[in-house]
Each structure stands twice: as C-alpha cells, then as structure tokens.
Structure 1
C-alpha cells in the first residue's frame, strides 16, 4: 500500500515538472521546405497531434455533460502515442469507462501524455459527469393489512412503477420484526412489476396464529437504497376470521372532541370507517338530523338521546355494535341578567358589567365555570373572551366605541350549560 502511494506521488511530481517545462511550439507556416522534412520532423508531428487530440464523446454527450463512456485515443494520426490518466478512476477510468456518481454532478480531470520519438507533450481536459437522479419507485394498490386463516394462501396486491428498469424486488416475511421467515427475490428488468405474483402459504411455512410483517424492498437503475423497505404491511394469521371481527368489535370506539363524552355531546365526533385488521365500518343513527353517519352533530333544542349502530364487515362476515349518546340541547331554562354600569370616570373606553342568575340551591352549587364573551353586534367577531373556573358575577374590560353583544354562561363540570344570558351594550 505504501509503495503504491509512493509511485502515485512520484507520478504526480513527474506530471508537475513536465507541465512546467516550456515547449517550443512549431507551426508549419513558420518553417520553410528547405529547413525540414515534414515526414521526419518530430516536433512538428507532435504539435499537430497535440492540437488535434480530443476525447471522443458518445452521442449527445460533450465536455459539459457526460453520461456514457468516452473513447480516449491511444495513437494519433502522426503516430504519437497517448497515455491517459484520470484524477477520479471511480467515475472515469483511464480507458474511458464512465460510472456516473449518485446524486451530484462531478468534474473529472483527464490528463493525456503524448510521446513521439522521446519528445513529450501534456494536455488536460476537464469534463463534467452528470450524476444519476434518485427517483423513488411508486407503489400503488398495496394493502396495509392481509388476513388469512392458517390453511389459506395469501397473495400480495398492487403494482410497482419506476422511471428506469427495476433491478431487484425483494419481499421478506418477518415475525416480531427481527427474524426472516421467508424471502422472495425477483429481477424484473422492466419499469413495472405486479406483486400479485408473490404469495405466502401459512400452512407450508408453519405460520401459527399471530401477526407478521411483510417488508418490500425495491431497487432500480436510478434508485439504489436496498436497506430501507419501501413498504411494510401486516399479515394476520387466524384460525377463524370471525374471531378477528369480534376483536375489532371489542376495540371499536367513538372519538369525542374536546371535553365531550357519551353522556354530554355538543361537538362533532369521529366515527372510524376502517378497522385494525382492514374491516369496513358503516354507521347508522337513530336521529340522523342530530348526529349523521359521518359524525356531524347538530344540537337540538332539548337534550336528546341518540343511538349509533356500527356494522363491521369483511370477507362476507358482519357484526354490529351500538353506542348510546346524549346530545345536549341549546335551551337553557335558567337565565342570567346582565347590567351595564356607567363608564368608569376618566377612562371612557372601560366598561364594568355585573350580573345575577335565577339559579338556586344545588343548581347554583353545580356551577364550575363562567364564560364571558363580547361580540361586535350582529356578527361573530369575538372582541373579548374570558373563562374562569368559578362563579363570577362581574368583570371590567376595555372596548372601543361601538355596539356589542355580551354573552355570559354558567357551565357544570361536564360543560353542560346551567344558565345563560345576553344583552346589548353601547360604548360611546
């Protein structure tokens, strides 16, 4: 290794000295016929070969854009011998073979040494080798979940598309994400591949009831990452698919907004449409005008109970699950009376409000939150809002001159409205 490095350094030193030596260029026009013989004049022939020497590029390539191998002449027209050297053999070898770099373009220096009857000239060329663009292949129609019984074969679904030829498709089956149980490798040599040609037989592989991972690795002529799977799917093996559907039913739940729960719904809810194992879920409501099948909530005037029924289906099997909810109405029998005091002296932009409600006894003790909201009159433009976890009866704030709507509500710990009131105020 040290000897090879020493030889390389000596060669670089040789080139440096050779390039630094001045050369007397001889042109045909400067010589008379009586002073030299064209056939034998070495300097003249060397100069002609030096001027005419160039790398020969493939079609559509040039010095500023190299994508294919280059022809590097080794003998010139006037019998000068040429020795080539590259400062980056990994990209352009000394015989002109080009290996495009991954990613960025790269400049390579090619050095030609012309030799004729012990006389030498050195010529250098700077060429730009274009990098290969990394384009990730596209996977479409591939399922996230496959479910089979222990005696049922599973076929993958979907297509792989690439912008260049696919050189490798590897599909591995894992247990607990660490042990490869089965591996299939394909070399498509085409720009697309149908995954339906790959299958797993749980019976042949002795797969027991449980969950497995399917990892799909892809490589193409312009995508080389074979260490990271482009897709990871789940394979569930079961004795009876009905058992999985029962599991889906057991874990199915409704997702509530904010502080809502089944006994006090005031906002939209999320109704799942796809189960963990890939089953489809459809919903029916006993009161579609209050909660529809997409989970949109329209609050009624009075509190109303709504029953939602979920139907879970896959592989021709269906089960149902019901949920009982209560949507809180907008009507509030208790009221809050709001009074506006006179503008605070010396500050006409400040207003003081006080109020009282007709709540009594247990209802009054149930108040856990006070919300004060002030809107520009006739709009939903909120100009002031304050929430306190106690029973307030007054507040002071600053407002610009104008007309406003004041809304005050008392809420319980379950955010049910116990009392509310509205009034209009004028700031001069």
Structure 2
C-alpha cells in the first residue's frame, strides 16, 4: 500500500514511525514532513493547504491511502477533496470536522443530543460576552470559537481575567478564530484524553492519556498545545470508559449521522472527570499532540490496518491491543514558547539519547548547514516506556540530559499525578 501522511509535527513523526513498521506498507510519503520523519518516509515539499496539489501528487504516485495529521486541512475540507478524487483517506469531512473547527457547533450539538458538558453561551460581539461573564462570575472559561493552535482558551480565575480574554479574542489576538467566542462553565475535576477510531457508524476505543497543558511546573503559566503526556490515564477506569462511550461518544456518533455529517476518523474527547462522571471539555477531530507519541509507543497492532478499516467502514471487524507498560513523553520547547519561540538554535545529541526504551520524535525541527535546528515552539518529544510511570519518567529525563540544547526548556514534572498514584499519595 502506498501511503501519504500529511503533517510536519511530533504527532506525524510518531504516526510515520508506526506506519513504517506495517508489513502491508509499500511506500510512505509525508508532506511536508521534518528531519525526523525523513528517517521513516520520503518527505515531499507539498503545502497541506494546497488540496489540488495533494490530489495531483496522489494520482502521480499511485497513492492508495492518505492519513491527515493536523486539524487545519481537515477543517478546510481536504478529506472531501480526496474522496471526490477517488482516494481513500483517514479523516472527517469538512462538515464533521466542525466538531473541532467550531467550539460553538460542538456545544450546540451537546445541548441537542444531551451530551454531558458545561453550561455555555455563544457570542458574536464583545459586549454580550462581557455581560455574560459578569453575570456568571469566576472561575469561568473563555474560548475562541475557531482553530487557534491550542492557544485560544483562557481558564479565568477572576472576572477581570475573563473580560480581558473576551477583549483579546474580539481584538484579533487569534485572528478569525476569535470572531466568535464561547464562554463556558468552569468544570472541576481531573482532565483526561480519550480517543476513538470511527468509521461513520462504529466507534472503537483507541486509548487514554493525560496531557499537561500549562507551560510551567506545577501546572502553572500559560496554556500551550501540550508540554507532555502519559498513557494510560489511571483516572480513565473501565467504568469511566464505559460511561464515556455510552453518554458521550455514542450519542455524538448518532447525532452527527442525524444531521448529515457522519463522523469518520479519530474522535479525540478532552474530558473532565467530575464528581458526576465524565463531561466533555472539547472535541478534536485528529490525533492529539503529544498524546499520539505515547499511544504509538504502546500500540501492539498494525496502525495502518486500523486506520484503513476506519476509512473503509470496517471497524466492526477490528479490535485494538495495547502493551501494558505505560509510556510518557516530555516536550522540549524553544525558549519564548508559547508566545514567541526563538528559532534557529542548534540541537545536538538527539541520536545518542535514543535507546531501546526511548524514542525521540521531532516536532518543530529543521536542517540548516548540516545541523539540526529549532524551527518551532514545541521542538522535540522525548518519549519513553517503563514498567511504571516512574520508570518511564526516569528514562525520558535521563535521555533529555544527553541532549545538548541550551536554548530549549521543558517541564520537570511530567507524569506527576500518575506517579503520586503509584506511591499511594493520591
């Protein structure tokens, strides 16, 4: 099978690494890829936003199957364009990708189909949003409605912080993504990431993880795209998984089919596990980053066959098996992230830091004059497995100590909650 993977980040490197191990793979391309992905695939200089060029490339190279990594091409309808051209693709239609492309769309869907989530209001002007904030009080959550690269969310602990967030959205801090704002109830509990592979009718659980969104140790500082993750998430017990499937995923699948936008691809539920059970924070319509990195390290099965079954409507014939050992990933980011990351600094020692239990996935990297350099905010994902989360954490940080990159930084407490559980402290 000839496969094209679209994307250039750590998520795509992890997918490329796992797809490359499939015995049914003939040739793997990645557009545009990165220096790490180049070890697993032939990287091609295609812009994921240029759908016509992607389709033409697939026809020229006899590509049988396309896997779309990032959300922006999905929201822009790349899966529709590929399907119209007769090319099999893993990813939702433009209509179904609204689950990520519009937070207001998802909240309205939850309200219509009784899917547990926080109370909310949708606003197209600042005055109405500000009035809602002042009426509800704090803590409260302010979200840009559209895609904002994981940065359009403010968990406001004071009313003034929420009002400032509303103003920032409408003043253009997130471009068109902030033209509409969702203000929602603050949910108290423990966050978790839950994934399902979907084929329009069937949804199959595809692992759990816990992300670390805040930039600083102790869950402090600005929200980011994710500073690290581990899998599985202990809070996602089988009972909670069963409730999530029954109360959130299955009604979402039915609801999307009912409105004429059946969901195919991966449905990523960001959950808050509250005293009342799981509630939806938000849906994403692609694999998480950095959660994919730990999921791929734990997955026993051929990921390519699973993704193709989702695209072909054949998930009712598939099951998913996992290694019991937990996995953990630490994000190494460029100084200045998430506001203004510094690009161009040289990174050394990545190859020697890898081992049988440690994989380093490239996120924002590039090659310049024969050297590996930082080319984004989140730059490397140092990913390790172990018999316990503590062992996986120890292995990841030992690998980081072998990487020579003074201009990088990372959190030093990834996995703290799971480790506390292992020690009986939670």
User: Under a length normalisation based on structure 2, what TM-score does the superposition of the two structures give?
Assistant: 0.18
User: Under a length normalisation based on structure 1, what TM-score does the superposition of the two structures give?
Assistant: 0.18
**Greater share of helix:** 2
Larger Rg: 1
